[in-house]
Structure formats: C-alpha cells, structure tokens
C-alpha cells in the first residue's frame, strides 16, 4: 500500500502567487508509491507436464535419531568395574624387584708356595676348564726338597727293618739264655750239695753261682731288648713297614714336599673365565697365597636381589621365579628362591644405622635374597653384575581390602 506523507496545509496565497502550483506538485510527488511497496510479481506457471500431473504428497519432518553410544557406555561401566575388581582381588601374586644383579663364584687364583713365575698358560678373558694349567712357578728348590724327603723315607724304611731284626735277635737270645738256665741251676745245686758234705771246693761253688746269675741276667737283658724293639715297632713286630709310625712320619715329609712341588703348577679349581691376567708377568715373584689374577665361574651363578622389606610379606624359599636380564630383552630364565637373608643389607655395613639418635628418619630397608638360576643351558652367557628383574610367584592373591575382611570376619594376616 502506498505510503502517504501528510503535509500540513498552507494558506493559499493571493491570487497570482507564483508558488501555489509548486506546493501542489510537491504533494502529488509525495503520494506516489515507493518501489519497496510495490506488489510482488505473480509466480511463474509451472511447465505443462508438471502442471498436468497430480500434486506430490509433502514428506513429514524427520525427527533426529538417538545414538547407542551412551547406553552402551552405561552398560559397560558396571562390567568394567566388576572385571577390574576381580583382577584386583585375584592379582598381586607376583613380587617384582629390579634391584637385582647376576652373581657368581669368584676366586683370586693363588698358591701356597712362594716362587718366581716362569710360564703363564692363559690369556685375559679366556674360558678355562677345571684342572687346566693357569701358570707355573720355578720348581728347582721344591724338587731338591722332594728328593731329600724321599731319601729320608728310605732311611726310615731300613731302620724299621733293623728294628724288626733286633727284635728277632732279642727273642733268640732269650731262648738261648732260657735254654742254658736249667744247666746252670743244676751245676749250682750240685756244688751247693758238695759244699754241704765238705767234698766240694769254695771256688767251684762260686763259679757255679756266678754262671747261674749271669744266665738269668742274659734272659732279662734279652727281654728288655726285645721289649724296646717291639715298642719301636708299635707293639706289633709283624706290622707292615708302611704302617709303622716312623715310616708314616717320613712319608708325611715326602707328601708335604710333593704337595709343595705340585703347587708350583697352578690349575683352575672350577670351570670359568680368567680375568686380569695381565696383573702378573713372567719373572714376577709371588709370595705364598698372593693373588695372581681372578677366576669367575660360568656354572655356579645366581641372582642377588635386594627387595624392600614390605615386598617380602609372602615370599618364601622354594618359590618359582622368572628372571629377565636387561642385556637380553625378550628372554627369560627360570629360577627358584634359594634363601633369604636373616638381616637387612645395612646391618652388615661398616657404620650401621643408629636409630636411637635424635635425628632418626624411618627408611624402608632392603633384605638380600638369593635366587638360583635353573636353566642356563642353551641361553646367552650371563656375566657378573648384569642388571636383572626378578618376578617371584608367591601364590598369594591380593585379596579383599582390610576393611572388607574385617567386616566379613576374615583373618588375612600372613603366617609362617
């Protein structure tokens, strides 16, 4: 509809006023319709083929479809809580610690005798077998001592034979003296009777008496000699020489000299790997029991672990363990808890903790534990000091929380 602008009426001017037609034209101009107020154009007629057909039904408005994500999440939430609670209660059987390292029998190779090194039979980091020669000392002095001990043994052997012969001789002298004794007793009795009747002489009587006493003395002397020889023969004249005390003493001297001689050749006490061999050279003089170099076992190995005291609640000797070595990712060794130390590691330190002082701070202690390695065959070589992780199967699940156990009246305290 055309917009009408009302203009206030003006008083007509006098006749002949030239401005009157101008105001009338202005009113007409204001009454003309504006372009925005013009009626909209009629819609165009549809094409003939579309106009001829029936009118298409109008589709209803589509309602937004509700997704299944939220119901699924609400349904899975209790399942996840139940599953998590189950795994929590039934889990916790594995005690794991990474404060563990490979240990092995290690010995400083030495010998009981002093001497000069004349030969070194191994090289640094060389695998050796039990009984293999490692190095040798000069043997001249020990060979002389061994020969002297053997000579002394031969002398003692002859002395024992002499004692046996002396004993037999003393026995023969006893028999001879005892055989002469009845004759001299008869002669003495005869001379005694003659002296009683006055037919005998004093000289004959004295001679008979002397012979009888001398024969008795020979028997006593022979018996004393026999007893002396028998005592030196350990009370058994028929005893083998090898069991005689004098012979055994001399034999011990030979054995000692032989041992010293054998100790000049140093051999490996067990299978292992020698290290720090360069610490000695040919010509070096070693004192008795002085360490030459080290030998580390390749068979007698174990894991030395130090778990926290709070982690040992259900750990017992004999429980199975799994050993993972940092050097060999993905490989595992089987083990068994061999023993648990009766004291903490700090108890053996040079300056153990004094908890009675005023500045005491509680620190969780670590208890040394030894784990035996069961399956070393066919596995990569292990070396002393390698870092490992030990997982011990305690066989004891974590269980319900303490307040639940108390509510149910259960006793979940560790025993044994």
Question: Does some domain include residue 19?
Answer: no
> Which two structure tokens, joined as six digits, stand for 398?
């974590």
- Same structural domain for residues 226 and 304? no
Describe the strand order of the beta sheet including 265-267 as a list of residue ranges: 265-267, 133-137, 115-120, 285-286
Gyration radius from the chain CA atoms: 61
- Same structural domain for residues 304 and 230? no
- Same structural domain for residues 321 and 213? no
- Same structural domain for residues 377 and 330? yes
pLDDT the model gives residue 77: 80
Please say if the pLDDT value at position 96 is more than 70: yes
> Which two structure tokens, joined as six digits, stand for 403?
């307040």
3-state secondary structure (DSSP) of residue 355: coil
pLDDT the model gives residue 2: 43
Name the more confident of 356 and 231. 231
Name the more confident of 254 and 1. 254
pLDDT above 90: percentage of residues in the chain: 43
- Same structural domain for residues 255 and 329? no
- CB within 8 Å of 387: residues ≥ 6 apart: 98, 100, 101, 325, 326, 327
Question: Does some domain include residue 13?
Answer: no
Question: Does some domain include residue 50?
Answer: no
Gap between the Cα atoms of 43 and 307, Å rounded: 91
Digit-coded pLDDT (tens) for 329-362: 999 999 999 999 999 988 888 777 766 667 777 8
- Same structural domain for residues 253 and 306? no
- Same structural domain for residues 309 and 375? yes
Q: How many structural domains does the chain have?
A: 2
> Which two structure tokens, joined as six digits, stand for 78?
């209790």
Gap between the Cα atoms of 81 and 79, Å rounded: 5
Determine which of 60-69, 88-97, 191-200, 242-251 has the lowest per-residue pLDDT on average.
Answer: 60-69
CA 70 to chain centre: 55
Question: Does some domain include residue 189?
Answer: yes
Question: Does some domain include residue 303?
Answer: yes
DSSP state of 301: E
Helices (H) and strands (E) in the chain, counts: 7, 12
Asked if residues 323 and 334 have their Cβ atoms less than 8 Å apart, the reply is yes
Gap between the Cα atoms of 150 and 254, Å rounded: 6
Q: Average pLDDT for residues 80-105, to the nearest whole number?
A: 83
Q: What is the DSSP string of 209-247?
A: HHHHHHHHHHHHHHHHHHHHHHHHTTT-TTS-GGGSHHH
Q: Average pLDDT for residues 200-217, to the nearest whole number?
A: 80
Question: Does some domain include residue 311?
Answer: yes
Q: Average pLDDT for residues 150-154, to the nearest whole number?
A: 93
Asked if residues 322 and 350 have their Cβ atoms less than 8 Å apart, the reply is no
Which of 222, 350, 248, 277 lies closest to 109, judged by CA? 277
pLDDT the model gives residue 71: 79
CATH assignment at residue 337: 2.40.30.170
Question: Does some domain include residue 99?
Answer: yes
Q: What is the DSSP string of 244-269?
A: SHHHHHHHHHHHHHHHHHHTTEEE-S
pLDDT the model gives residue 318: 94
- Same structural domain for residues 238 and 314? no
Q: Average pLDDT for residues 369-396, to the nearest whole number?
A: 93
Determine which of 49-58, 208-217, 343-352 has the lowest per-residue pLDDT on average.
Answer: 49-58
- Which domain range does residue 254 map to? 141-260
With 0.85 as the threshold, say if the pTM is over it: no
Range among 20-34, 238-252, 318-332 with highest mean pLDDT value: 318-332
Gap between the Cα atoms of 237 and 219, Å rounded: 20
pLDDT above 70: percentage of residues in the chain: 77
Question: Does some domain include residue 365?
Answer: yes
Average pLDDT, the chain: 80
Range among 34-48, 76-90, 148-162, 258-272 with highest mean pLDDT value: 258-272
- Same structural domain for residues 248 and 165? yes
pLDDT the model gives residue 262: 95
Gap between the Cα atoms of 382 and 328, Å rounded: 10
């Amino acid at each position: 509809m055309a917009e009408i602008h009302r203009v206030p009426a003006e008083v007509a001017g006098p006749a002949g006023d030239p401005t009157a037609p101008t105001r009338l034209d202005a009113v007409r101009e204001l009454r003309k319709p504006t372009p925005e107020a013009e009626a909209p154009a009629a819609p165009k007629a549809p094409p003939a083929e579309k106009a001829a057909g029936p009118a298409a039904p109008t589709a209803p408005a589509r309602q937004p479809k509700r997704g299944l994500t939220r119901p699924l999440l609400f349904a899975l939430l209790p399942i996840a809580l139940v599953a998590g609670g189950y795994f929590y209660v039934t889990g916790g059987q594995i005690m794991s610690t990474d404060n563990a390292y490979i240990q092995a029998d290690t010995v400083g190779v030495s010998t009981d005798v002093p001497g000069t090194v004349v030969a070194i039979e191994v090289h640094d980091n060389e695998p050796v077998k039990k009984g293999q020669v490692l190095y040798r000392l000069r043997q001249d002095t020990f060979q002389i001592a061994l020969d002297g001990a053997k000579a002394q043994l031969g002398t003692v052997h002859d002395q024992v034979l002499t004692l046996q012969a002396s004993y037999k001789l003393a026995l023969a002298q006893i028999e001879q003296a005892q055989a002469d004794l009845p004759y001299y007793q008869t002669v003495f009795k005869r001379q005694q009777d003659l002296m009683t009747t006055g037919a005998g002489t004093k000289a004959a009587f004295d001679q008979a008496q002397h012979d009888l006493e001398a024969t008795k003395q020979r028997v006593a002397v022979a018996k004393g000699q026999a007893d002396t020889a028998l005592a030196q023969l350990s009370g058994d004249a028929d005893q083998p020489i090898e069991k005689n005390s004098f012979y055994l003493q001399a034999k011990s001297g030979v054995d000692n000299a032989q041992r010293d001689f054998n100790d000049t050749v140093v051999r490996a006490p067990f299978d292992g790997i020698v290290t720090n061999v360069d610490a000695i050279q040919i010509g070096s003089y070693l004192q008795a029991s002085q360490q030459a170099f080290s030998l580390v076992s390749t068979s007698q190995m174990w894991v030395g672990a130090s778990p926290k005291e709070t982690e040992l609640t259900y750990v017992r000797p004999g429980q199975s363990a799994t050993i993972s070595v940092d050097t060999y990712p993905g490989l595992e060794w089987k083990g068994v808890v061999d023993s648990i130390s009766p004291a903490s590691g700090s108890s053996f330190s040079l300056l153990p903790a004094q908890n009675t002082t005023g500045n005491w701070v509680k620190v969780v202690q670590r208890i040394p534990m030894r784990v035996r390695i069961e399956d070393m065959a066919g596995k990569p070589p292990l070396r002393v000091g390698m870092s490992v992780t030990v997982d011990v199967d305690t066989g004891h699940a974590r269980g319900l929380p303490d307040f639940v156990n108390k509510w149910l009246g259960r006793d979940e305290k560790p025993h044994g």
